[in-house]
Structure 1
Amino acid sequence: MDLQLSGRVAVVTGASKGIGLAVARTLAEEGAHVVAVSRRRTDALPGEVVHVAADLMDPQEHARVVGRAVAEFGGLDILVNNAGGPPPGVTLPRVGFMAPDDEDWRAMFEFNLFSVVRMIRAAVPVMLERGGGSIVNLSSTMARQPGAMNVDYAAAKAAVSHVSKAVAEEYGPRGVRVNTLTPGAVLTDWWTRPGGAAEVMGAMVGATKEDVVTKVAPEMLRMVTGRLVDPQEIADAVALLASPRSGSTTGAELVIDGGQLKEL
Structure 2
Amino acid sequence: MDLRLTGRVAVVTGASKGIGLAVTRTLLDEGARVAAVSRKAGAELDALAGPDLLHVPSDLMDPDAPAAAVERAVEAFGRLDVLVNNAGGPPPGASLPRFGFLTPSDDDWRDMFEFNLFAVVRAVRAAIPHLLRSDAASVVNVSSGNGRRPGPMNFDYNAAKAALNNLTKGLSEEYAPQGVRVNSVSPGPVRTPWWTDEGGAADIIAGATGSDRDAVLDGGAAEMMALTTGRLATPQEVADMVVLLASPRSASTTGADVAVDSGFLKEI
> The TM-score by the shorter chain falls in which range?
over 0.9
Residue correspondence of structure 1 range 143-182 to structure 2 within 5 A: 143-182=147-186
In 2, the alpha carbon distance for the partners of 1:132 and 1:163 equals 21
Residue correspondence of structure 1 range 62-101 to structure 2 within 5 A: 62-101=66-105
In 1, the alpha carbon distance for the partners of 2:208 and 2:65 equals 38
1:202-221 Cα offsets, whole Å, 9 max, x none, are: 01111110000111100011
- 1:199 matched to 2:206: no
In 2, the alpha carbon distance for the partners of 1:16 and 1:220 equals 29
Structure-2 residue corresponding to 1:251: 255
- SS, match of residue 44 in structure 2: coil
Residue correspondence of structure 1 range 174-253 to structure 2 within 5 A: 174-253=178-257
**Residue type at the aligned position of 1:73:** F
Structure-2 residue corresponding to 1:16: 16
Shift of 1:260: 1.2
Structure-1 residue corresponding to 2:56: 52
Shift of 1:148: 1.3
Structure-2 residue corresponding to 1:3: 3
**Residue type at the aligned position of 1:75:** R
Identity %: 59
In 1, the alpha carbon distance for the partners of 2:243 and 2:95 equals 30
Residue 144 of structure 2 is aligned with which of 140, 143, 149? Answer: 140
Shift of 1:147: 1.2
1:52-71 Cα offsets, whole Å, 9 max, x none, are: 00011111111111111111
Shift of 1:129: 2.2
**Residue type at the aligned position of 1:37:** V
Q: Is the 8 A contact 1:184 1:229 kept in 2?
A: yes
1:126-177 Cα offsets, whole Å, 9 max, x none, are: 1112345100001101111111110100000000000000000000011000
In 1, the alpha carbon distance for the partners of 2:63 and 2:128 equals 16
- SS, match of residue 6 in structure 1: coil
Segments of 4+ in structure 1 off by > 2 A?
Answer: 129-132
In 2, the alpha carbon distance for the partners of 1:176 and 1:129 equals 9
Residue correspondence of structure 1 range 17-36 to structure 2 within 5 A: 17-36=17-36
Superposition CA RMSD, Å: 0.8
Of stretches 56-65 and 74-83 in structure 1, the one that deviates more from structure 2 is: 56-65
- SS, match of residue 236 in structure 1: helix
In 2, the alpha carbon distance for the partners of 1:263 and 1:150 equals 20
Q: Is the 8 A contact 2:136 2:248 kept in 1?
A: no
In 2, the alpha carbon distance for the partners of 1:64 and 1:263 equals 39
Residue correspondence of structure 1 range 94-113 to structure 2 within 5 A: 94-113=98-117
TM-score by length of 2: 0.97
Ranges in structure 1 where 5+ consecutive residues have no aligned partner = none
Ranges in structure 2 where 5+ consecutive residues have no aligned partner = none
Aligned residues: 264
Q: Is the 8 A contact 1:18 1:189 kept in 2?
A: yes
TM-score by length of 1: 0.99
In 1, the alpha carbon distance for the partners of 2:209 and 2:160 equals 27
Q: Is the 8 A contact 2:140 2:242 kept in 1?
A: yes
Structure-2 residue corresponding to 1:39: 39
